[in-house]
Amino acid sequence: MDLTYRPATLDDAELASDIMQAAYPAMTHDPVMTRVRWTWVRQGYSFGRYIVEREAGPIAFAAWTHGPWEALPERHCEVEVWLDRRLLDRDLLTELWTWTEDRAVAEGSRLLLAYAAEDELELLAVLAALGYERARLEKVWELDLGAHGRRIVAEATDARKRIEEAGIRIMTLASWNDPARVEKLYSLDERTRQDIPHTLPILPESLGEFELRLGAPDRPPDRFWIALDGDRPVAMSYLKYPPVRGSVWTGYTATDAGYRGRGIARAVKLQTLAQAVELGVPAVLTDNDSENAPMLHINETLGYRRRPGFVEHHKRVTNTRHG
């Protein structure tokens, strides 16, 4: 089909963001955050990013990425293809995915990992035809703050009062002056990440990598909420505010295992939502694995409504160099 695949540079981050948004308009992509993610490559990770062009210009963005093989028993590699929806065609999609798969296999992957939204029917059909199988479902939810904002603010006030009466303080990261706060939050993050339902390994990150994420431009410290038992953080929740464009999403909500079942996660998450109401945010999105029953229950009680989620697909491949 006379396609040209050229390696993407940091200067292509805005272009890639535009292409990804054109491929699936329901999910916006912020160019600043795309560049940030491209800049902060995790230690031991490998990747390939490509702008796909035809004679008329750029039409797609393709990429593969994987962690250090020694930490991945199944040698899985995530592959992605974003084709401008105006050019949607199954044969073209198939060619793009096949080309990207070949790059991942050449890297030594034995398992390919791909995502598609539940309402991307053409892409779902192409992945099935290429031999991908559904593995997990990431549910997506939206909370209309225009409709539920007043109730959310009232519930946030009540929940905070109950939690603080039980001896747990709630505050923003900006107002927490502990000199070891980064290390303490990192410990909480690392302890709770493995509790997220998963099939493939969730690799640990270094303290330095966590600190970079903590200081990302989409999560200001005055919008990052924590719950403290004494000087120990036992829960956290924050929203991601894109600097240029896009929807506001819940970044991560977590509670220390020893403090669960006491309404702390819900109370902290409510602070983020109440703050979003005060900032005039029209709606907040969140996603949770379909097996994460506690967070799904919280979403339902808060008034979130379901939107099309993302299906995780797996495809086993044969690699002649690695068996």
- 296-312 per-position pLDDT tens digit: 777 778 888 999 999 99
Residue 115, in any domain of the structure: yes
Q: Same structural domain for residues 217 and 69?
A: no
Which domain covers residue 89, as residue numbers?
4-131
Mean pLDDT value across the chain: 94
Domain-terminating residue out of 88, 109, 131:
131
Under a CB-based contact definition with an 8 Å cutoff, are residues 97 and 81 in contact? yes
Q: How far apart are CA 129 and CA 170, in angstroms?
A: 50
pLDDT tens track for 149-193: 999 999 999 999 999 999 999 999 999 999 999 999 999 999 998
Residues of the chain with pLDDT under 50: 320-323
- Report residue 292 as tokens: 């994460």
| Helix/strand/coil for 43 | coil
Domain boundary among 114, 131, 148: 131
- 224 belongs to a structural domain: yes
**Cα 151 to Cα 239: distance, rounded to the nearest angstrom:** 19
Asked if the structure places residue 125 within a domain, the reply is yes
Within this chain, do residues 122 and 243 fall inside the same structural domain, yes or no?
A: no
Residues 97 and 186 occupy one common structural domain: no
3-class state of residue 183 by DSSP:
helix
> Same domain for 68 and 217?
no
Note whether 90 and 156 are same-domain residues. no
- The answer to whether residue 315 is domain-embedded is no
Length of the chain, in residues: 323
User: How many other C-beta atoms are found inside a 10 Å radius of the C-beta of residue 273?
Assistant: 27
Whether 317 is covered by a domain: the verdict is no
Same domain, 157 and 248: yes
Domain end (from 107, 131, 155):
131
Q: For a pLDDT cut of 70, what percent of the chain falls above it?
A: 96
What is the pLDDT at residue 194? Answer: 85
**Long-range interactions of 218-222: CB distance < 8 A, separation 24+:** 218/30, 218/32, 218/33, 218/242, 218/243, 218/251, 219/251, 220/174, 221/172, 221/173, 221/174, 222/172, 222/173, 222/174, 222/175
CATH of the domain at 151: 3.40.630.30
**Phi, psi at 274, each rounded to 5°:** -60, -40
Residue 316 lies in a domain: no
**What pLDDT, on a 0 to 100 scale, did the predictor assign at position 302?**
84
Report if residue 89 sits inside a domain: yes
Q: Which two tokens stand for residue 289?
A: 């694995």
Pair 290, 154 in one domain: yes
Quote the number of domains for the chain: 2
21 and 94 together in one domain:
yes
In a shared domain, residues 153 and 296: yes
Q: Are 236 and 282 in contact (CB under 8 A)?
A: no
For residues 264 and 168, membership in a common domain is answered with yes
In this structure, the answer to whether residues 169 and 257 fall within a common structural domain is yes
On whether both 158 and 301 belong to a single domain, the answer is: yes
Spatial contact of 45 and 65, defined as CB atoms under 8 Å apart: yes
Sign for the pseudo-dihedral over CA of 256, 261, 265, 267: negative
What predicted TM-score, i.e. pTM, was given to this entire model? 0.92
Neighbouring residues of 264: CB distance < 8 A, sequence distance ≥ 6:
163, 168, 227, 234, 235, 255
Would you say residue 323 lies in a domain? Answer: no
| Predicted pLDDT of residue 319 | 63
Predicted pLDDT at 279: 97
Q: Which of 275, 278, 274, 281 has its CA nearest to residue 302? A: 274
Residue 242's pLDDT is 97
